[in-house]
Structure 1
Amino acid sequence: MFFVDILEIEGLGNRSYLAGGREAAVVIDPPRDVERVVAAAAGRGVRIAYVAETHVHNDYVSGGLELARLTGATYLVPAAARVSFDRTPVADGDTLPVEGGLALRALATPGHTPHHTSYILQEDGREVAAFTGGSLLIGSVGRPDLVEPRLTEKLARAQYASAHRLAAELDDAVQVLPTHGFGSFCSSSQAEGDSSSIGQERKTNAALTKDVDTFIADMLSGLEDVPAYYAHMGPLNAAGPAPVDLTPPRTAGGKEIAERLAAGEWAVDLRSRTAFSAGHVAGTVNFEAEGKLATYLAWLIPWGKPVTLLADSPAQLAQAQRDLVRVGIDRPSAAATGDPAGWLSEGEVLRSFPRADFAALKKAREADESLVVLDVRRDSERAGGYVRDSVHIPVHEVHDRAGEIPAGTVWVHCAGGMRAAIAASLLDAAGRDVVAVDDSFDAALDAGLALTTGPGH
């Protein structure tokens, strides 16, 4: 009897898989921090026989090379992928024995990348699960625009064809087990649900229910901005990622933190947005450890910029390090934990700014119509409605476009509060007076704020 264990990569919206039988298993698309995978295999009492990549990833640094080295597993990488390390190339139709009646068949599914390959788990000749990587997702497909702009439409057509190949070759009962699509920006649209099958996808997936031209036009028109750090992930994975070092960083006191900030480095406060707004070191920025830390910090920080991490506990710091190595932020320059008062240099005091809801914004606007409302949601979110006369700068552009924000106190909002807190901290670090709106955007209408749709600045 086979098993499939799902390894959620929280924060990145991805999954890795451990699948096998009584004695041997295969790992699909492992994360950079491989200890968790090794522990999962040990818990099952199985040997990792194969480590398989569906493609050279653009959204995270793979742990495949290191996992294969540690376990002695055969490292499977699509033959057409250009990489700089030794691996076992796999091509369409290759079938690899796992144990007994279990086998893994490679099935070429280009589209997310030109070399993308899915893996089909077979039990006694019957196909039971499809590890579809960034090809067929739950209700969607992987985006085709991450490799090269000139290839986007060609890859989109390949993605459509690959989805149809999977649907044509596999039975309805076969599980669909994608790597992307659980909040990942690698998905071409927001996927829904946690599990699926080929039969379910035949009924609901746009790639299988629309004609090719309609599907491509709809998909390409709906693509969001690509996180900036994606540009660095593919090259890192193709070169062969180095082993990670998750030992605690050196401890910095208040004087060193101030010196690093003065030198233009980033000091990232990992505490909750509530705690940060109540009191923080001037010049620091807030990326909540419990939010999508890796995605948003890697997206916003200038690539390679030294970073100091400030956490409320060693456990929070350790988890943040683990999250960040997954996106190539390998070693913090320094760190500090505990009470933020201990992070101050001599003569400094903690800085703070207010938090509010949309009802408070309505009252403040009635008292002062000139106050600045900054909307940091994505373009697609704003298209559904926005606060009249608000300024729109998506959160990932706030650092570079802060000079475009009019003078005055800035009330920053997003859809729920997390991105508003990031943007508010960036503006606060730049010396602006801010109010972070920590509220659901649905409450804006209930509060009586005037909303509008259509073109907006």
Structure 2
Amino acid sequence: MYFVDTIELTGLGNRGYLAGGGRTAVAVDPPRDIDRVIAAADRRGVRISHVVETHVHNDYVTGGPDLARVTGAAYLVPAEARVAVRHIPVHDGDRTVVDADAGLTLRALATPGHTPHHTAYVLEEAGAAVVVFTGGSLLVGTVGRPDLVEPRLTERLARAQHASAHRLAAELPDDTAVLPTHGFGSFCASSAASGAATTIGKEKAGNAALTRDVDAFVADLLAGLDDIPAYYAHMGPANTAGPAPVDLTPPAPADADEIAARLAAGEWVVDLRNRIAFAAGHVAGSFNFEAEGQLATYLAWLIPWGKPVTLLAESPEQLAAAQRELVRVGIDRPAAAATGDPSAWLRAGEAPASFPRARFADLAGRRADGDVVVLDVRRAAERAGGFVEGSVHIPVHTLHRRLDEVPDGQVWVHCAGGMRAAIAASLLDAAGRDVVAVDDAFAEAGPAGLPVRTA
């Protein structure tokens, strides 16, 4: 009998897996904080004998080499990936025994498309396929995006995605469980994918890669590609070279004087509290990236790579969770940190900064009284589905470089739900702008009386 445990990376929209029998197991696409995988193996009472990568990841730093080193497991990587760390190259059709007593083997299937070397792994029990780990190939209702390697390869890889999906559908039984790494909010997915359980049979019925001809599929796939997070440029090289082991010990504590000095030096001070608390009172010049939001994705996307960052958290637990999130995308050691609230982070005589929050109904009333700047910080694909007439569009991930493009006046900033608007509001507030954060669902803009147009 086999088992599969999921290692969820909610903030990044990814999943790793531990699969095996009664004695040994294989880790598939493990996260960099490998203690979670080791704990899962301990709960099962199994030894991790193999660690496998479906591809060299572009959206997070892998824990594969470190997990293999710590556990003594064999490290399997697609042969064409050319990583610098010690590994066993995997070729199409290779079989690896996972647990002999349970009759479990892992069969490699070349599935290029997300990357040229991408490989899926089929878990077989007594020779019958039961699970396929599809990485960034066949996802739930979609496929992994093909534009992360090299622009000149994008169309070729899109066509390869179609062919790889069809190979999986042709060679595996309909009841084979499909377990992808990407696609649960990850920007590695070519379009939105659900977190629902799926099988080869379900994907045959509803996945565009399996229901549309290659030309129509590729045309739609390429037309739907959105911006790539800037930090992706650093993930592939880090994984190819071999990431260092992580250090999750608490950062050096920072008092109010040090926080002020770091801000004066142009470093980033990031407040992890929720957006309501931040708007009510914060250290002037600090930025708000909620710990409960997509912290790693958006902080790593916006921050100049290598810039020192100091974290302000409401509790040691929030700080520790944020550190864990950030090491997954290569932000290894915060320069300093502090916990508590602004009363402990401000020097004597300093007052906290603040800005108001509002709803779309408030914006509708304010526009009726006079001109205001409405700033939409959603991505272009979101704006194409509807936008407030007369609004300025600057996606949040570009705003820190384009603050001078925001027109004069009071700025009412919105996104789709409030989290990115809070990030943008903090950037504008730090720059000395008069800002209001619209903390509301964009679906409420029209009913509130605002003129909404579609592109």
Do Structure 1 and Structure 2 share a fold, with TM-score over 0.5?
A: yes
Gaps of 5+ in 1: none
Equivalent position of 2:233 in the other structure = 231
Equivalent position of 1:24 in the other structure = 24
Distance in 1 of aligned mates of 2:324 and 2:376? 31
Gaps of 5+ in 2: none
Equivalent position of 1:384 in the other structure = 385
- More deviation, 192-201/304-313: 192-201
Cα offsets for 1:328-367 (capped at 9, x unmatched)? 0000000000121110123321000000000000111111
2:320 pairs with one of 311, 318, 324: 318
Distance in 2 of aligned mates of 1:409 and 1:258? 27
State whether structure 2 residue 280 is matched by structure 1 residue 265: no
Distance in 2 of aligned mates of 1:430 and 1:193? 39
Equivalent position of 1:374 in the other structure = 375
Secondary structure at the aligned position of 1:11 is classed as helix
Equivalent position of 2:63 in the other structure = 63
Taking structure 1 as the reference length, the TM-score comes to 0.98
Equivalent position of 1:409 in the other structure = 410
Cα offsets for 1:137-158 (capped at 9, x unmatched)? 0100000000000010111111
Cα offsets for 1:405-451 (capped at 9, x unmatched)? 10011000001000000000001011111000000111111111111
Equivalent position of 1:254 in the other structure = 256
Equivalent position of 2:337 in the other structure = 335
Alignment of 1:19-418 (within 5 A): 19-100=19-100, 101-368=103-370, 370-418=371-419
Distance in 2 of aligned mates of 1:84 and 1:18? 24
Distance in 1 of aligned mates of 2:392 and 2:288? 22
Paired letter, 2:446:
L
Distance in 1 of aligned mates of 2:367 and 2:225? 34
Runs (4 or more) in structure 1 with deviation over 6 Å come to: none
Deviation at 1:99, TM superposition (A): 1.5
Deviation at 1:371, TM superposition (A): 0.5
Distance in 2 of aligned mates of 1:193 and 1:282? 39
Distance in 1 of aligned mates of 2:348 and 2:66? 44
Paired letter, 1:52:
V
Distance in 1 of aligned mates of 2:374 and 2:246? 42
How many residue pairs were aligned? Answer: 453
CA contact (8 A) 1:127 1:174 kept: yes
Paired letter, 1:8:
E
Cα offsets for 1:5-60 (capped at 9, x unmatched)? 11111100000000000111000000000001000000000110100000000000
Deviation at 1:163, TM superposition (A): 0.4
Paired letter, 1:264:
G
Equivalent position of 1:433 in the other structure = 434
Distance in 2 of aligned mates of 1:442 and 1:81? 44
Root-mean-square deviation (Å): 0.6
Paired letter, 1:272:
N
Secondary structure at the aligned position of 2:11 is classed as coil
Distance in 2 of aligned mates of 1:318 and 1:382? 35
Cα offsets for 1:242-281 (capped at 9, x unmatched)? 0000000011111111110111100000000000000000
CA contact (8 A) 1:255 1:346 kept: no
Distance in 2 of aligned mates of 1:167 and 1:339? 54
Distance in 2 of aligned mates of 1:231 and 1:347? 43
Secondary structure at the aligned position of 1:5 is classed as strand
Deviation at 1:453, TM superposition (A): 1.8
Distance in 1 of aligned mates of 2:82 and 2:432? 46
Paired letter, 1:448:
G
Paired letter, 1:42:
D
Secondary structure at the aligned position of 2:124 is classed as strand
Secondary structure at the aligned position of 1:445 is classed as coil
CA contact (8 A) 1:268 1:310 kept: yes
Deviation at 1:133, TM superposition (A): 0.1
Paired letter, 1:228:
A
Paired letter, 1:390:
S
Equivalent position of 2:7 in the other structure = 7
Distance in 2 of aligned mates of 1:104 and 1:339? 50
Distance in 2 of aligned mates of 1:446 and 1:334? 45
Secondary structure at the aligned position of 1:213 is classed as helix
Cα offsets for 1:167-188 (capped at 9, x unmatched)? 0000000000000000000000
Deviation at 1:381, TM superposition (A): 1.0
Secondary structure at the aligned position of 1:113 is classed as coil
Secondary structure at the aligned position of 1:297 is classed as helix
Deviation at 1:384, TM superposition (A): 1.0
Taking structure 2 as the reference length, the TM-score comes to 0.99
CA contact (8 A) 1:62 1:326 kept: yes
Distance in 1 of aligned mates of 2:386 and 2:118? 37
Cα offsets for 1:194-225 (capped at 9, x unmatched)? 21000000000000000000000000000010
- More deviation, 128-137/189-198: 189-198
Deviation at 1:82, TM superposition (A): 1.6
Paired letter, 1:348:
E
Distance in 2 of aligned mates of 1:133 and 1:293? 23
Secondary structure at the aligned position of 1:80 is classed as helix
Secondary structure at the aligned position of 2:333 is classed as coil
Paired letter, 2:206:
T
Secondary structure at the aligned position of 2:401 is classed as helix
Distance in 2 of aligned mates of 1:75 and 1:158? 26
Secondary structure at the aligned position of 2:445 is classed as helix
Deviation at 1:452, TM superposition (A): 1.2
Distance in 2 of aligned mates of 1:4 and 1:320? 27
Distance in 1 of aligned mates of 2:74 and 2:30? 14
Distance in 1 of aligned mates of 2:195 and 2:446? 29
